[in-house]
Structure 1
Amino acid sequence: MKTLAIQLDDIIIKPITNDEQFQEASQLIDYLIDADLLEDVQERKRALDILEALTVLAIDYEKKHYAIPKPDPIEAIKQRMEQLNLSQRDVAAYFGGENRVSEVLNRRRSLTLKMIKALHQHLGIPTDTLLAV
């Protein structure tokens, strides 16, 4: 039997415009994260609605102020090869030959659309990462 220690009606949902408001919203999100366990149906619905609204606002603020830069495409390929324990010979078909793998990984040749498609299909590297040249 879960109950909330705060009053949902006291929570005011407003745009997040600074880090202090972001931290407050994050604390409320942490507090409301288990709202689906509330027994009272109306209280559960209200808590989940607040949780969803706060999450949307927090994500929006986070994207604007704490954007994660896209990874370098060559580093992404190298990392994926390492994760999968693949050698240059193992991925040669995706590049059009072993020489091309070496040239691309050493930044002497650019990725082609054909290579990008093959790397995405066979290694699961997102195309937007591979296109960020």
Structure 2
Amino acid sequence: MNIKPIKTDADYRAALKEVETLMMAEPNTPEGEKLDVLVTLIEAYERKHFPLELPDPVEAIKFEMEQKGLSVKDLEPMIGKSNRVYEVLNRKRSLTLRMIQKLHLELGIADESLINQPVEIR
């Protein structure tokens, strides 16, 4: 197994090509182990060179509402009465720790997204 660190864009592209050839490798075989190692190296390179920004908390909530067909009424158990839900969705009120916990548990929104500093709207 000839594997080296991914340091450049060319190394990255070469590793992706190699992974493509190994996609059907069986687990616990030399090819499968090579695939595992290459995927780990690629993920580390991508985290460093292509970081993903977390979504704004309100946008994350609105996205989940849209995806799951939820209404303001559906958010009341997690946020509070409908006027409080509207305040959160209109950025008039910040999320509390309890709201974050409930939204994470009930809707599966990543807590990292919910505690992310909201984008200021001008």
Q: Give, in whole Å, the separation in 1 of the partners of 2:75 and 2:33.
A: 47
Partner of 1:7: none
* Larger gyration radius, structure 1 or structure 2: 1
Asked if residue 12 in structure 1 is aligned to residue 9 in structure 2, the reply is no
Which residue is equivalent to 1:84?
68
Question: Hey, which bits of structure 1, 4+ residues long, moved more than 2 A?
Answer: none
Shift of 1:21: 0.5
User: Where do 5+ consecutive residues of structure 2 fail to align?
Assistant: 118-122
Q: Residue 18 of structure 2 aligns with which residue?
A: 28
- Is the aligned partner of 1:130 residue 2:114? yes
Aligned-CA RMSD value: 1.5
Shift of 1:36: 1.3
Are residues 1:119 and 2:110 paired? no
Q: What is the aligned length?
A: 117
Residue 56 of structure 2 corresponds to which residue in structure 1?
Answer: 72
Shift of 1:78: 0.5
How far apart are the structure 1 equivalents of 2:48 and 2:38?
A: 15
TM-score normalised by length of structure 2: 0.89
CA distance in 2, matches of 1:93, 1:36: 46
Identical columns (%)? 43
